[in-house]
Structure 1
Amino acid sequence: MDEQVPATIGELGEFALIERLTARLPQGPRIALGPGDDAAVIAAPDGRVVATTDLLVEGRHFRRDWSGPYEVGCKAAAQNLADVAAMGARPTAVLLGLAAPPGTDLEWVLRVVDGLRDECARAGASVAGGDVVRAPQITLAVTALGDLGGGRPLTRAGARPGDVVAVCGRLGFASAGLEVLAAGGDGPAELVEAHRRPRPFYEAGPQARELGATALVDVSDGLVQDLGHIAAASGVRIDLDGAALPVPEVLGPDGLRHVLTGGEDHAFAGTFPPGTALPGAWTVVGGVSAAAGDGPAVTVDGRPCAAAGWDHFRS
């Protein structure tokens, strides 16, 4: 009788699953010791490690009827790697915690890890280890690490009056793509693809630091909301120039709303000293001024922006 090939992770078992996963994960030069021991060992030439973590919960952050497993893995990596880059660092390693019901399709899990691995490779990082556990709902917990290469970290607290505000990367595409999917999927394919698989320009973080950026943030929850974090941390006000904001026609009649409030494209928004020669990937969209008492932290053409961004406990 032919031996039955496991179809689910429950049929395969925990340790055989770990073996199958780690076999798909080549290790880069920054990984001194990869999967297989109690913990990984990752080189930290700078002597400091940039670290961040995010959760993706099925039904909240992804739907299997909207996104394939490879795309889910890419997205899980991208949203963490972008946070590392937003500190001006280069990503080095990612750790994955996977919780799933035992009946989860084995091939689905393998493809998630493939996506995670390939997106890490885009950023120059490796998947160095992780954990798997049984749970009633699929959840991915991803931790990303990075190296500053001897430079200063870019925080949200350095913006100064007189600075210019610039963005790098697409804005509003993922948000518009989400609305297309929610409406049945009849819309521009590039918007749907942007929601399923963001494509951050990871080099933007180290580049911004080298250009002398005073503050930087990953636009994950909406441009207005994330620039609001810079304004609050820096004690300044930020005014956006509506005419300078990149609003391509493909975003539709609500394009400006998507640009201002849509997250998950993982573009980068930063502040730079006046006169900074920014390369073509960056677009100046506003300026920084002194805080205006109890006024709004971020305005558009001098007026408050009523639209908000993403809030996990309110949205």
Structure 2
Amino acid sequence: MPEDELIAAIVQGMPQGDALVPTGDDAAVLPLTAPRVVVSTDVLVEGRHFRRDWSSGADVGWRSITQNAADILAMGAVPVSFVGSIVLPGDVPAHWAIAVGQGMAEACTWIASATGVPCGVVGGDVSSGNQVSVSVTALGDLAGEAVLRSGARPGDVVVHAGTLGHSAAGLALLSAGLSPDGDGAAERCIGTYRRPTPPVEVLDATQRLHALMDVSDGLLRDAGRMAKRSGVAIDFDDLAGLVDTEVYVVGQMLGVDPVPWVAGGGEDHGLLGTCAPGEVPEGFRVIGRVLEGEPSVTVLGQAPSGVTGWDHFSG
């Protein structure tokens, strides 16, 4: 399919948000509806972040949008616009790329319905290459102050919104070659791996937090980043208490301990934050404490062992 026809097919029916000049020109023109604009970029690479035999094109498109939306939410901003690029080898059928666009559109519609703010893909590009990749840049409107990962204070409680370990459990099922076979827990975990849903519903509460970040690389690893940027120590409660029913059931199915999925599985794209003990916002649960001391992460006062998170450049 010629490039112009492929682009037209990908963007057909795509939500445009509030764009003044949407897709189809050299660049999009967007209204400034908030005092500040938040920008974030992420990329999905086949073989590293997804497999086409595990995820449809629509799944990859959804994930490319929501993982970027999580970064915008983690700053206390509302996602409003996305720009995407797709690289395709010659043997990838055009319908797969078109499905990516459909998944992007579905994710934008979902985000807009949750926030009440128009949201869309306002531009992008396609190119040929040796490996499939999908790159997205997200823009968000920030009405208040940015909530940074550097704001944790001694005496704060550590809070989390969203799921933990679901995506890792889903990946474990797929890696083992198992299908859900009608099991609700397995279906939900595989669904989270394919189509993560960050907790958009807590957006209004984020301004009450002292620190905030997206959990994309694992709870313990990302907490370590927060501790380092804030100059504090973070101590978690018993991680076994964070294993919910779905993750526990999948652990039983595979005969493995599910706690490492909670500790090191990050692609649920939940939100990790800190706040004053008496000011925990609705939608967040307390999972630890912020202490004075050298930047570190402990669990019940002890250094964690085993899998602690995802590193793109390890191994």
Scaled by the length of structure 2, the TM-score of the pair is 0.90
Q: What is the CA deviation profile of residues 228-260 of structure 1, one whole-angstrom value per residue up to 9, with x for unaligned ones? A: 111000000010011684212432242221111
What is the CA distance between 1:93 and its match in structure 2?
A: 0.4
Q: Which secondary structure state, in structure 2, belongs to the residue aligned with residue 98 of structure 1?
A: strand
Distance 2:245 2:163 in 1: 13
Distance 1:243 1:199 in 2: 22
What is the CA distance between 1:132 and its match in structure 2?
A: 0.8
What is the CA distance between 1:123 and its match in structure 2?
A: 1.6
**Count of residue pairs brought into register by the alignment:** 296
Q: Does 1:98 align with 2:92?
A: no
1:90–1:206 contact (8 Å) kept in structure 2? no
Q: 1:162 aligns with which of 155, 158, 181?
A: 155
Q: Does 1:41 align with 2:29?
A: yes
Deviates more, 1:244-253 or 1:92-101: 244-253
Q: Does 1:26 align with 2:15?
A: yes
Distance 2:278 2:216 in 1: 27
What is the CA distance between 1:277 and its match in structure 2?
A: 4.1
2:11–2:101 contact (8 Å) kept in structure 1? no
What is the CA distance between 1:19 and its match in structure 2?
A: 1.7
What is the CA distance between 1:205 and its match in structure 2?
A: 3.7
Q: Which secondary structure state, in structure 1, belongs to the residue aligned with residue 160 of structure 2?
A: strand
Deviates more, 1:194-203 or 1:31-40: 194-203
Q: Could you say if the C-alpha distance between residues 100 and 38 of structure 1 is closer, same or farther in structure 2, counting changes exceeding 3 Å?
A: same
Q: Which residue of 2 aligns with 1:75?
A: 63
Structure with higher Rg: it is: 1
Q: Which residue of 1 aligns with 2:42?
A: 54
Q: Which residue of 2 aligns with 1:309?
A: 309
Q: Which residue of 1 aligns with 2:129?
A: 135
Q: Could you say if the C-alpha distance between residues 25 and 89 of structure 1 is closer, same or farther in structure 2, counting changes exceeding 3 Å?
A: same
Q: 1:256 aligns with which of 256, 259, 263?
A: 259
- State the Cα RMSD in Å: 1.5
Q: Percent identical across equivalent pairs?
A: 43
User: Structure 2: which amino acid aligns with 1:289?
Assistant: L
Q: Which secondary structure state, in structure 2, belongs to the residue aligned with residue 95 of structure 1?
A: strand
What is the CA distance between 1:196 and its match in structure 2?
A: 1.1
Q: Could you say if the C-alpha distance between residues 230 and 248 of structure 1 is closer, same or farther in structure 2, counting changes exceeding 3 Å?
A: same
Q: What are the within-5 Å matches in structure 2 for residues 204-243 of structure 1?
A: 204-209=202-207, 212-242=208-238
What is the CA distance between 1:112 and its match in structure 2?
A: 0.9
Distance 2:43 2:246 in 1: 30
What is the CA distance between 1:207 and its match in structure 2?
A: 1.9
Q: What is the CA deviation profile of residues 252-306 of structure 1, one whole-angstrom value per residue up to 9, with x for unaligned ones? A: 2422211111110001110001210431x211011101124xxx61110000112
Q: Which residue of 2 aligns with 1:265?
A: 268
Q: Which residue of 1 aligns with 2:116?
A: none
User: Structure 1: which amino acid aligns with 2:13?
Assistant: R
What is the CA distance between 1:186 and its match in structure 2?
A: 4.2
- Where structure 2 has 5 or more consecutive residues not aligned to the other structure, the ranges are 113-118, 181-185
- Where structure 1 has 5 or more consecutive residues not aligned to the other structure, the ranges are 1-11
User: Structure 1: which amino acid aligns with 2:206?
Assistant: A
Moved over 4 A (4+): none
Q: Could you say if the C-alpha distance between residues 245 and 152 of structure 1 is closer, same or farther in structure 2, counting changes exceeding 3 Å?
A: farther
Q: Which secondary structure state, in structure 1, belongs to the residue aligned with residue 104 of structure 2?
A: helix
Q: Which secondary structure state, in structure 1, belongs to the residue aligned with residue 20 of structure 2?
A: strand
Distance 1:244 1:38 in 2: 52
User: Structure 2: which amino acid aligns with 1:291?
Assistant: G
What is the CA distance between 1:55 and its match in structure 2?
A: 0.8
Deviates more, 1:226-235 or 1:98-107: 98-107
Distance 1:312 1:161 in 2: 31
Q: 2:168 aligns with which of 151, 175, 196?
A: 175
Q: Which residue of 1 aligns with 2:296?
A: 297
Distance 2:134 2:36 in 1: 26
Q: 1:117 aligns with which of 105, 119, 126?
A: 105
Q: Which secondary structure state, in structure 1, belongs to the residue aligned with residue 139 of structure 2?
A: strand
